[in-house]
């Protein structure tokens, strides 16, 4: 097969690369380029068949895999079926192991026909198996929806985006339909739409009072309708920032009904008159989140009536201090209602910014109001107020600064609030560069919709993408029981004391074809790996390997790290590969993030992704994972 490619004599770099791909050897072009250069003895830019074989051996040869192979091979040449069964049981923790599974693996990965027929496995087949998707770190059982999807909506973390229409900064950047399409493809289930009056009675979408470009509201809804359920079957919530006049609100209502048709939830479900439905009950439905007038029963009574021209006015409480200005004002004391041990409510003085409210009259077209069913937007005033007056279908949007104070000073109250109501957290207005906050601190207290700027890469979006890999990338993840079971009235501190911690051990063995440094003129880098745990404050930790100098192609670390994770249900693990640079600061080369409890045990490959979330295949880390609870 190889000889055919050398019929014309020597081959160049391009043909070498394509021949390696033809032989199912995945490789990084830059690495191949420099290995080709090293093996081109005459430096003519063309190589012989012997030189190609040498390149093949360098790329395909994995010393660390040969060591594992030799441990289980009786003759160091082949693995018999029984040897493979032992390896899968002892190292890969496949408990329900039998010869049929081993036989299937041999049939799937062994490239040498006579070895395959003898029901054996060569080092080539073993290497292909260990580098395959069957040996990825992420457990493929969680690549499908496996959680109970019949709980009420407020029992789930919901993938949410902020100012979804922006694809750059918040002030002068472009608004683009691609913002909505890409978010939906990533599994986002809550989109934000800023609506303003446009010319010719056509509502527009843009970031008001800025120079960002404008989109037609109906164009946005058409794109959402087309892409809403490509990645996930579960409901999409359209969070409207509504600045339109009543006549254009009626146009919005018409657009929503005409374009979305039966996909639009425009009436309460008969089985859910007084409680939130489940994602399962709302499959393939699109919900509108906006202000609302009156009750669900009144909305039903008005169904199929002509609401044109009907406008109602209501009083809304508006904050006098803006979220981003909170840091500048002195925080007066305010009263918190807490429960003492006897269950009696007692007053407790706590330094939380007193949020002053003034009444503002708002006009709302009844046609738009009546499309809001289970996701009525309601201004957050206090946990005490919500406990007394908030309705089951009302949800709050809270800015990150206020939410951070609440999570630090009244975490238990925040958890209890989120057991009953949906809370949406959004970035503060001073983030004009579309930067993001760390979402973990708000997931820790059970906030369902933690809205991020999806267009901005970096750590927060790595955590977002990693968390929502779980449950089939459906955009809905069932919260741990201690964040949803209101009967337990569970305190996070009690969870820390009573939860069974996970002891996690990771042996970081090697790197495979890591991205070379941009600072290097060759395929080199001074590589190190950082392992970070994100979760409740007690679990936040990072450890790192030593630096392997001038080797991005096949660095070997063989270092073991141990972590004790108190609340694994909320924990994410992030692997970051960097090039050490003492002058400019370490250079990011790639990362991978996933939930701790979604990891496979045993020998695993960790795929790597670029800063903007693109796969860097074949770049990977080779690790051994073991954990016990």
User: Which one of 31, 61, 151, 162 is the catalytic residue?
Assistant: 162
- The answer to whether residues 422 and 157 touch, using CB atoms and an 8 Å cutoff, is no
Given the DSSP bridges, would you call strands 357-365 and 311-319 parallel, antiparallel or unpaired?
A: antiparallel
How big is the chain by its Cα radius of gyration, in Å?
Answer: 28
Other beta carbons less than 10 A from residue 301's beta carbon: 10
DSSP-derived secondary structure letter, 261: G
C-alpha distance across the termini of the chain, in Å: 51
595 touches 467 (CB < 8 A): yes
Residue 327, CB half-sphere, CA atoms under 13 Å: how many? 8
Separation CA 264–CA 235 (nearest Å): 10
- At a CB cut-off of 8 Å and minimum separation 6, what does 141 contact? none
Query: b/e map of 115-154 (b: 16 or more CB within 10 Å)?
Result: bbeebbbbbebbbbbbbeeebbbbbeebbebebebebbbb
Per the annotation, the verdict on 61 as an active-site residue is no
Question: 192-226: string of b/e by CB count within 10 Å (b at 16+)?
Answer: bbbbbebeeeebbbbbeebebbebebbbbbebbbe
207 is catalytic: yes
Q: What are phi and psi of 153, to 5 degrees?
A: -50, -35
Sign of the CA dihedral running 29, 33, 34, 39: positive
Phi-psi region of 40 (alpha: psi -120 to 50; beta: other; left: phi over 0): beta
CB 553 within 8 A of CB 520: no
Residue 495's φ and ψ, nearest 5 degrees, are -60, -45
Residue 172 backbone phi and psi in degrees, to 5: -125, 0
Question: What stretches of 513-601 adopt beta strand conformation (E)?
Answer: 527-534, 541-544, 556-565, 572-579, 587-595
> How long is the chain?
629
User: What's 173's DSSP letter?
Assistant: S
Task: Kindly report the number of other CB atoms within 10 A of residue 113's CB atom.
Answer: 8
Q: Residue 84 in contact with residue 106, Cβ under 8 Å?
A: yes
Residue 145: strand pairing partners: none
Contact predicate 542/530, CB 8 Å? yes
CA dist., res. 504 & res. 210, Å (int): 48
With H, G, I as helix, E, B as strand and everything else as coil, classify residue 65: helix
Supply φ then ψ for residue 567, to 5 degrees. -125, 75
Continuous H helices in 23-98: 29-39, 49-60, 63-72, 81-90
Q: What is the C-alpha separation between 30 and 13, in angstroms, rounded? A: 11
Residue with token string 């820790």: 444
Catalytic residue among 31, 207, 417, 605: 207
Closest residue by Cα to residue 397 from 289, 535, 314, 475: 289
Please say whether the dihedral angle defined by the alpha carbons of residues 580, 581, 582 and 588, taken in this order, is positive or negative.
Answer: negative
For residue 264, which of 287, 242, 282, 281 has the smallest C-alpha distance? 287
Q: Active-site residue numbers?
A: 162, 207
């Amino acid at each position: 097969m190889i000889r055919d490619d050398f019929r014309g004599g020597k081959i160049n770099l391009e043909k070498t690369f394509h021949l390696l791909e033809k032989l199912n050897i995945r490789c990084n072009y830059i690495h191949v380029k420099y290995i080709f250069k090293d093996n081109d003895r005459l430096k003519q830019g063309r190589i012989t068949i012997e030189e190609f074989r040498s390149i093949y051996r360098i790329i395909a040869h994995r010393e660390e895999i040969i060591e594992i192979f030799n441990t289980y091979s009786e003759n160091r040449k082949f693995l018999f079926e029984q040897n493979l069964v032992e390896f899968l049981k002892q190292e890969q923790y496949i408990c329900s192991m039998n010869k049929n599974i081993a036989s299937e693996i041999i049939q799937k990965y062994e490239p040498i026909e006579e070895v395959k027929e003898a029901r054996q496995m060569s080092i080539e087949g073993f290497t292909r198996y260990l580098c395959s998707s069957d040996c990825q770190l992420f457990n493929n059982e969680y690549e499908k929806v496996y959680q109970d999807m019949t709980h009420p909506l407020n029992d789930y973390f919901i993938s949410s985006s902020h100012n979804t229409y922006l694809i750059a900064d918040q002030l002068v950047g472009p608004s683009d339909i691609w913002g909505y399409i890409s978010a939906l493809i990533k599994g986002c289930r809550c989109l934000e739409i800023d609506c303003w009056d446009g010319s010719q009675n056509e509502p527009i979408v843009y970031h008001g009072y800025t120079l960002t470009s404008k989109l037609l509201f109906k164009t946005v809804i058409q794109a959402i309708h087309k892409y809403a359920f490509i990645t996930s079957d579960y409901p999409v919530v359209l969070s409207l920032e509504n600045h339109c006049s009543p006549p254009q609100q009626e146009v919005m209502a018409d657009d929503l009904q005409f374009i979305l048709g039966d996909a639009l939830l425009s009436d309460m479900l008969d089985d859910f008159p007084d409680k939130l439905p489940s994602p399962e009950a709302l499959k393939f439905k699109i919900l509108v989140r906006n202000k609302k007038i009156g009750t669900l029963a009144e909305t039903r009574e008005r169904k199929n009536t002509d609401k044109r021209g009907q406008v109602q006015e209501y009083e809304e409480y508006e904050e006098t201090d803006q979220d981003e200005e909170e840091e500048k004002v002195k925080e007066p004391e305010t009263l918190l209602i807490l429960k003492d041990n006897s269950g009696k409510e007692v007053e407790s003085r706590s330094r939380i910014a007193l949020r002053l409210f003034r009444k503002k009259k708002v006009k709302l077209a009844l046609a738009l109001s009546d499309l809001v069913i289970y996701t009525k937007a309601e201004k957050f005033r206090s946990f005490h107020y919500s406990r007394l007056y908030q309705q089951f279908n009302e949800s709050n949007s809270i800015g990150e600064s206020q939410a951070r104070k609440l999570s630090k000073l009244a975490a238990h109250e925040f958890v209890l609030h989120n057991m009953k109501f949906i809370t949406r957290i959004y970035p503060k207005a001073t983030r004009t560069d579309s930067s993001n906050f760390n979402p973990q601190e708000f997931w820790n207290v059970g906030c369902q919709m933690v809205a991020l700027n999806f267009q901005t890469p970096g750590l927060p979006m790595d955590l977002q993408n990693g968390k929502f890999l779980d449950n089939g990338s459906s955009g809905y993840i069932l919260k741990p029981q201690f964040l949803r079971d209101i009967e337990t009235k569970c305190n996070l501190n009690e969870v820390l004391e009573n939860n069974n911690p996970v002891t996690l051990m990771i042996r970081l063995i090697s790197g495979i074809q890591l991205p070379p440094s941009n600072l290097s003129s060759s395929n080199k880098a001074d590589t190190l790996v950082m392992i970070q745990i994100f979760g409740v404050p007690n679990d936040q930790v990072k450890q790192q390997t030593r630096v392997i100098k001038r080797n991005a192609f096949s660095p070997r670390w063989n270092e073991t790290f141990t972590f004790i994770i108190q609340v694994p249900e909320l924990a994410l693990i992030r692997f970051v590969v960097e090039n050490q640079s003492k002058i400019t600061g370490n250079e990011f080369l790639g990362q991978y993030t996933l939930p701790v409890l979604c990891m496979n045990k045993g020998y695993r490959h960790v795929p790597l992704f670029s800063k903007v979330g693109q796969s860097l295949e074949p770049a990977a880390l080779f690790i051994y994972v073991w954990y016990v609870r």
